[in-house]
A and B are shown apart, each in its own frame.
Chain A
Amino acid sequence: MTMEAIRTEAVRAGDVRLYTEDLHLHYGDVHALKGINMEIRGHHVTALIGPSGCGKSTCLKTLNRMNDVVPRVRITGSVVLDGEDVYGKAVDVTVLRRKVGMVFQAPNPFPMSVYDNIAYGPRVHGIRRRIVLDEIVERSLVGAALWDEVKDRLKKPALSLSGGQQQRLCIARALATGPEVLLMDEPTSALDPISTLKIEELMAQLKRDYSIVIVTHNMQQAARISDYTAFFLLGELVECDRTDRMFASPRDRRTEDYITGRFG
């Protein structure tokens, strides 16, 4: 069987949801991603690790086309989500981003109420009825383990929450559009250890319903929470494997050097 056939087979089996094929990305003259072939499996957490500037965040952002707004970006190769090319001509980016939600590095709640933050996404997608929005807001906040803490202050400004709460609010906001894949770009790097722990616990629950891709700087975090790990170095994907296997016996020397702390 060819690689293509294997991949197609895996997608049909509901295993690989998302894969990239010979993905190259240039920022002007900088060759930031060099032929990435990566697979993201459904209902698992995939961690992208690597030293700063290795391309892991860039790679994450290609998955829901957040690089589109960056000037002078050129992308070749393909990103395939459930058999459809994400960069296809007829793709509606709004629907793509509804399916592939995103949580950013620093909590970025909008300067509006907790309720309006969560309802922002559903409203983008045309949901107006109060009763439906109420239900989505509650479900999303429950899903992000924040409901009990904020249910009495849904009308309060989101910026009055603590940093950890704000990040869970952003997760809830991402959940509110009903995504299937959740991209998280170093979601705990701006948080204290307790808030980090809460988010890690949350991710273990979320993977039952979502496929999660997380960029992390923290190798212990990758080892704790992820099922698969992809190691990036200088724009290349060095190795992508099950996390337990990669951390126990990396196949590539560079991976071994990185996870044993010899550089990075």
Chain B
Amino acid sequence: MTVEPAGIGPITVKKRRGGEKALYGLIYLLSAGILVMVLYFVIYILIRGVPTVTPAFLTTAPNPIKKTVGIFPSLVNTLYIILFSLLISVPFGVGGAIYLNEYAKHRRLTGLIEFAAGVLSGIPSILYGIFGYVFFCVLLNLKVSLLAGVLTLTIMVLPIILRTTQEALRAVPVSYREGALGLGAAKWHMIRTLLLPCSLKGVLAGVILSIGRMISESAALLLVAGGSAMYMPKGSLFDQLASSGSTLSVELYRHAYSRGDNETAFGIAAVLLLIVIALNLLTRWIAKRLTEN
């Protein structure tokens, strides 16, 4: 018995691509929708906020007698909190990721730590606020202060930096490791000269995410760092950190909600938006500079 060759037929067929086109159309529409929403959001905030942002607004403290509003104290508080939280969380997060990925032998334990980090990065920030208040403000007697805010936000962003660094380390090709070890490099040398430079972009992505989370934080900071910023920063850096003070997001909440002062609220929103954009550009620029060399 002979087997007939299975016939598929001619390769030129009439195309039925109506469904495909509709799908493309939908995708374009949705993308355009997102773009329009973001642009509208940004432009609206800038239009309503920028007129309020005068040099005096940026460089003075609020003055109830003259009835002027200034955000300099909370601007400084915001930058302090971001800077010092990153100074603590980046070394610990990156170091922890290196340990978990490259050194830890106990799979069950590392799995547990990774699971904990995953849970921690998902819990609502007010819980960090309550924990921070009980632990840092009361138990460690730091009072309601910027320092307590720094430490609370540090533990809040630590899991983010830990996880993004771990992902970045995992993405380094095995062949790089083999190559370095094959040349006689010790493990730490390989990590320092090859794995870390290769995962730098991932670490910086974690830093950007962390900055975003810290700059938008209000609830937790209201509890641990305080709800007002009336005075120009004075005294030593430590004095400033030991005193209480609100950040821009907290101020924004206060002006918009408690006082109904929408002009100031939009001014602060515009400043926040510009800070976020500037920090993003800065981080990208750093990533570019560092990966070029």
Please give, as numbers and ranges, the residues of chain A lying within 8 Å of B176 by CB-CB distance.
Answer: 108, 110-111
* A120 located at the interface, meaning its Cβ lies under 8 Å from any Cβ of chain B in the complex: yes
Q: How far is the CA of A66 from the CA of B175 in the complex (A)?
A: 12
Known: A111-B198, A120-B193, A124-B189. A106 touches B183 (CB 8 A): no
Is the Cβ of A93 less than 8 Å from the Cβ of B184?
Answer: yes
* A177 located at the interface, meaning its Cβ lies under 8 Å from any Cβ of chain B in the complex: yes
- Contact partner of A108 (CB less than 8 A), chosen from B175, B189, B198, is B175
Please give, as numbers and ranges, the residues of chain A lying within 8 Å of B235 by CB-CB distance.
Answer: none
Q: How far is the CA of A62 from the CA of B179 in the complex (A)?
A: 15
Interface size of A as a range: 20 to 34
What are 19 A-B residue pairs whose CB atoms fall within 8 Å in the complex? A66-B182, A69-B181, A94-B184, A94-B185, A96-B184, A97-B182, A98-B184, A102-B182, A104-B182, A108-B173, A108-B178, A109-B179, A110-B176, A120-B193, A124-B180, A124-B183, A173-B183, A174-B182, A177-B184
* B8 located at the interface, meaning its Cβ lies under 8 Å from any Cβ of chain A in the complex: no
Mark out the residues of chain A between 90 and 122 whose CB falls within 8 Å of any chain B CB in the assembled complex. 93-98, 101-102, 104, 106, 108-112, 120-121
Please give, as numbers and ranges, the residues of chain B lying within 8 Å of A177 by CB-CB distance.
Answer: 183-184
Known: A94-B186, A110-B194. A104 touches B178 (CB 8 A): yes
What are the 3 tightest A-B residue pairs by CB atom distance, in nearest-first order? A108-B175, A97-B184, A102-B182
| A to B contact number (C-beta, < 8 Å) | 61
A-side residues, CB < 8 A to B, are 64, 66, 69, 93-98, 101-102, 104, 106, 108-112, 120-121, 123-125, 170, 173-174, 177
Closest CB in chain A relative to B183 CB, distance in Å: 4
Q: How far is the CA of A97 from the CA of B185 in the complex (A)?
A: 9
Please give, as numbers and ranges, the residues of chain A lying within 8 Å of B173 by CB-CB distance.
Answer: 108
Q: How far is the CA of A101 from the CA of B177 in the complex (A)?
A: 15
Closest CB in chain B relative to A81 CB, distance in Å: 14
